[in-house]
Amino acid sequence: MKWLELHIDTTHQGLEAVETMLSALGIDGVVIDDEEEFQDFLENNHQYWDYVDEDLAQRMQGRSRVTFYLESGDEGFSTLAQVRLALEDLKARRSDCGSLLLTMDTMEESDWENNWKQYYKPMEIGQRLLVVPQWEQDDPAVQKALETRVSLILEPGLTFGTGSHATTRLCLEALERIVAPGSRVADLGCGSGILSIAALKLGAKCAVAVDIDDKCLDVAYENAAMNGIGKGTYTVLAGDILSDRAVQQAMGTGFDLVVANIVADVIIALSGAVDGLMAPGGRFLCSGIIDDRAQEVAAALEGAGLAILERHEDQGWFCFLCCRKSEVN
């Protein structure tokens, strides 16, 4: 019997959340590698060692990783698909779990992704959009559906943003209503680029996307290219929009629409900076807000001078559409 060895990179604070998530999916017997626990052992158990292998010390540096195993077969790949969706949900809920990057050692990563693809199918979003996995775009049923819908072709890769999570659906449904032809869009925490690419497909003139994870650069650009969008109208940046001056300067200001599908803590942190990004009459669309944080996020937005024009909920997740209080009609 062949087994798949899988790894989830997280933070020390995120280890328990990842273990709990895997346990809920019936995955137990995980292996934990954590630099903090490793250093604690070294500092408090000198009686058990007098030499630490340099390769081991280097391998543990900065590491908080959960390793688990699945059977290499249909059942294992089905579970793997559930893990990916659960990781997307966890990333939306928690801001302290790091990249949550999922990797595999026992087979080629491309083989893993190709096996996972059979569990990711086209999805109708709202009244106009059809999210289409790149490998499904020639399917006759997809071609038929595109007679009345706008295609959004994606190759999710290892980043987040497939359209399957409630927060992403809420944002896409809102974009259908609010994207104006010729508008400029900023996408904060872009992941796969799904929201900014959708905005461009719905009529926006140009978009700038940013994510703290530099792996999103290639994935977002690749997804844009599959949708016929080039770098002349789409720019993707890597860095922290709140603290990285170079990213702030490269991004610019004067956006008609700013979108952020992240987590509550980051939206709260962003609330004071949104006004400086928006053009006169601009809108801020934010999601990734779990129900028990919705009131807190709303208070932060209103405290930053924003008025909430619309509130939408799906499966316990909220999406807010905001404008400046001074511009409320």
Tens-place pLDDT, residues 150-170: 988 887 554 455 666 788 899
Q: What is the mean pLDDT of residues 283-302?
A: 94
Report yes or no on 126 lying in a domain.
no
Verify that 290 and 186 share a domain, yes or no: yes
With respect to residue 129, please indicate whether it lies within any of the assigned structural domains: no
Do 179 and 322 reside in the same domain of the chain?
A: yes
Statement to judge: residues 205 and 81 lie in one domain: no
In this structure, what CATH number is given to the domain that contains residue 101?
Answer: 3.30.70.2170
Residue 304 is inside which H or E element, if any? none
Please give the average per-residue pLDDT across 30-57, as a whole number.
Answer: 53
Indicate whether 169 and 314 sit together in one domain.
yes
| Whether residue 185 is found in the same domain as residue 240 | yes
Query: What is the model's pLDDT at position 297?
Result: 95
The model carries a pTM of 0.70
Q: Is 148 domain-assigned?
A: no
Domain boundary among 118, 150, 183: 118
Domain that holds residue 176: 165-327
Mean pLDDT on 275-296? 94
Q: Which residue has the tokens 């996972």?
A: 116
CATH code at 284? 3.40.50.150
Residue 146 domain-assigned? no
Would you place residue 33 in the very low, low, confident or very high pLDDT band (cuts 50, 70, 90)? confident
Q: Let me know if residue 217 belongs to a domain.
A: yes
Domain count, the chain: 2
Q: What is the mean predicted confidence (pLDDT) over 231-254?
A: 94
- 168-to-26, 47, 69, 243, 259 alpha-carbon distances in Å: 26, 52, 29, 25, 11
Taking only the tens place, the pLDDT of each residue in 8-32 is: 988 888 988 999 999 889 887 788 8
Of 23 and 58, which is predicted with more confidence?
23
Going by pLDDT thresholds of 50, 70 and 90, the confidence category of residue 113 is low
Written as six digits, the tokens of 307 are: 């008025």
Same domain, 199 and 261: yes
Within a domain: 218? yes
The residue-averaged pLDDT of 209-216 equals: 87
* pLDDT of 46: 40
Please say which residue of 52, 85, 118 terminates a domain. 118
The strand pairing partners of 8, in sequence order, are 66, 102
> Would you say 259 and 199 are in contact if contact means Cβ atoms under 8 Å apart?
yes
- Tell me, letter by letter, the H, E, C secondary structure of 216-238: HHHHHHHHHHHCCCCCCCEEEEE
pLDDT value, residue 161: 57
14 found inside a domain? yes
Q: How far is CA 94 from CA 9, 90, 125, 160, 190, in A?
A: 14, 6, 25, 14, 16
Closest by CA to 71, choosing from 134, 27, 132, 101, is 27
